[in-house]
Amino acid sequence: MAGESKSFYASTAIEFIGRSTDQIVGELSTKVGLLHVGDERKQIHAWSVQIDLLKEALRNQNTDTSSWGILLELQLLRLGRRIDTIILIGDQIACLEFKIGNSKFSTADIDQAVDYALCLRDFHGGSLGRSIYPILCCDQTSIDNCNSEIDVVENVSTCLKTNTQTLSDAIALIAQRTGGSQIDFQKYDRSSYNPTPNIVSAARDIYAGHTVQEIGRSDANGESLQRTAQHLAQLASEAKLNNEHKICFVTGEPGSGKTLLGLDLVFSGDAERVAGEPAALLSGNRPLVAVLKEAIATDAKEREGISKKEARRQAEQALQNLLGYLKEHSTVGSKPPEHVVVFDEAQRAWDAETGKKLLDRETSEPELFLEILGRLDWCCLVCLVGSGQEINRGEGGLSLWGQALHRSEIDENNWSIHVSPQSKNGTNGLIRDIGGEAALELDIKTENGLHLVTNLRAYRNEKQGMWVEALIDGDIELAYEIASELELPPAIVTRELDEAKRWLLRRQRGEHRVGLLASSGAVRLIADGIPPSPRSNELDEVAHWFLKPTGDYRSSNALEKPLSEFVCQGLEIDYACLCWGNDLIWGGNSWIPRKMSAPKWQVSKKSDVIQHRLNAYRVLLTRSRAGLVIYVPKGDSLDLTRQPSEFDDISRTLLNAGCKSV
């Protein structure tokens, strides 16, 4: 919590140098004794060497170091990881990771040091707006392996690689860059830390037994998410206690934490049990399910020492494909074992016509769900609802759920309905198509806590979602006003693909991932060297894109293949390049969606087709967590499908909406 000391030791540099190493090690041992399980002798030896190295490096400085701050074992990451050392050098921050006894710099160790610095920049209150320098010190490596070149990108430098002899030189280079007042080490030590985990990391950590409270933010936004999570668990318990059928609609903009809530409800109980009963998260988004299951299984295999096959089996029990679930239980009388079910992206539920194609039953997905769960003596169905995310034909939105609940009421299968205000009324609301009197017959309870208001995904630009909405709505003046309120531009625009890739690669550091995105309708991007996206049934390829490390050509970091809206929806990446195709061009006052009907483009006329294309770009524009670059091709005057004037209008409109050029 803010206001409490986070490190195991903190002082000024002059006090640190003046105290004996044994005294400092004793303090560290006392603090870590409550947490550390392992080889205490090895840890104490490492601390002793580390502290002596730091003292020597500070003594060798040619400037006054007395007021600098020293923090040892700064508890930063909420799941038990700690930063070895922080040195507050005037208004600059050095973030040190020691590998005592190591003779070489491994890629994993460099990534760890840089990732700590990035976490400080993004989530640590005392580090916001400061320049941060990751330093990796391997005391046994040769000078030839060391490198202290500084290249600061978005307030974080490249990693300075040092040994016993060169550590003081690296610190001196940082000291030369000071220009403001000394950071108060005590205030810094008490600063809040509010991390926002990405969905893959969150799935791993929650499946490992941690709660959303343990892995997420500790500020007001995090507390709001925790309250909603606790409330959903309470509603499930009440449903069991009172033999009720409850349905809850949780709303929020893209990136507000809806899927995180679902994972918390399903995984953080005892062996995937909520209210003492089995629970499952269901999603029709096959790529999302595939990526999360593979991430969970890989982590469980390493953490628990079980086989990958067994790890996948365990993950599949609680994270299931929606269509497979419906096929298994669509026959009359079939009762699912799960009494608590989370329906991810419930606004994408399909209509009766699609039901006929998929299951040979002219029944909408909401009707089928209520029928299946209605066979149980009690249940709690949690529907996670996003706005503007419908990208397929047959996705009927919330009104399908309202119609299904009304029919269920007529059939005397009553449901207790808990909704956010945003999901009840309006053009896309629950009761839109059932009329006032019919709506009054339903047991609807409106609860403000079921709407998530904060964009947790775009943690560096909390109003990013608002900007995307204004842009897609064609309100360029409003988009510009929102952009002017942001600390960082909502996006960078470039007309060169290589420049966009260079922008990404400079930011691919630590655990941060970068990648290309492109609309499924932007079929002429292939002329600019951008291949088509993997399809939504090519699940291994999509999982590799999100999970494989740098150096693997299948990884997103290779910047070889883009993902379309169909395979990245529900997932996220740190830095993205959206390759803007001319399937969505600017018409002067609004966006004009088009579809390729070879050999030329056709302007879309049907309202649902128009909305799906707009929603596709809405999805793509909201996938990045830390930053977005938009590549707009230059076009070719000799190619009627790639006219330069169309791309010029797109680029100009994005800049008028508040984007910046590279």
Same domain flag for 53 and 130: yes
Same domain flag for 157 and 117: yes
294 occurs within a structural domain: no
- 210 CB-near residues (< 8 Å, 6+ apart): 79, 268
- 170 CB-near residues (< 8 Å, 6+ apart): 94, 133, 135, 148, 160, 162
CB 317 within 8 A of CB 272: yes
pLDDT bucket at 34, cuts 50 / 70 / 90: low
pLDDT higher for 62 or 39?
Answer: 62
Same domain flag for 422 and 570: no
- Domain containing 361 equals 212-284+319-452
pLDDT for 267 beyond 90:
no
144 occurs within a structural domain: yes
289 occurs within a structural domain: no
pLDDT (tens digit per residue) in 482-511: 999 998 999 999 999 999 999 999 999 998
Pairing of strands 451-452, 245-252: parallel
544 occurs within a structural domain: yes
383 occurs within a structural domain: yes
Indicate the SS3 state at residue 359: helix
* pTM across the whole model: 0.88
Same domain flag for 475 and 351: no
259 occurs within a structural domain: yes
443 occurs within a structural domain: yes
309 occurs within a structural domain: no
State the total domains in the chain: 3
Residue that is last in its domain, among 390, 419, 452: 452
Same domain flag for 16 and 137: yes
CATH of the domain at 443: 3.40.50
Same domain flag for 436 and 475: no
pLDDT bucket at 599, cuts 50 / 70 / 90: very high
Q: What is the separation of C-alpha 656 from the centre of its chain, rounded to a whole number of angstroms?
A: 28
Same domain flag for 265 and 152: no
Same domain flag for 437 and 499: no
Same domain flag for 176 and 221: no
The rounded distance, in Å, linking the Cα atoms of 203 and 208 is 8
Distances (CA, A) of 522 to 477, 555, 604: 26, 22, 14
pLDDT for 630 beyond 50:
yes
Strands (E), 62-193: 69-75, 82-89, 92-98, 131-137, 152-153, 156-157, 160-162
Same domain flag for 468 and 389: no
Same domain flag for 592 and 639: yes
Task: Tell me the mean pLDDT in the region 550-579.
Answer: 95
Same domain flag for 222 and 361: yes
Residue that is last in its domain, among 428, 452, 476: 452
pLDDT for 67 beyond 70:
yes
Residue that is last in its domain, among 452, 480, 506: 452
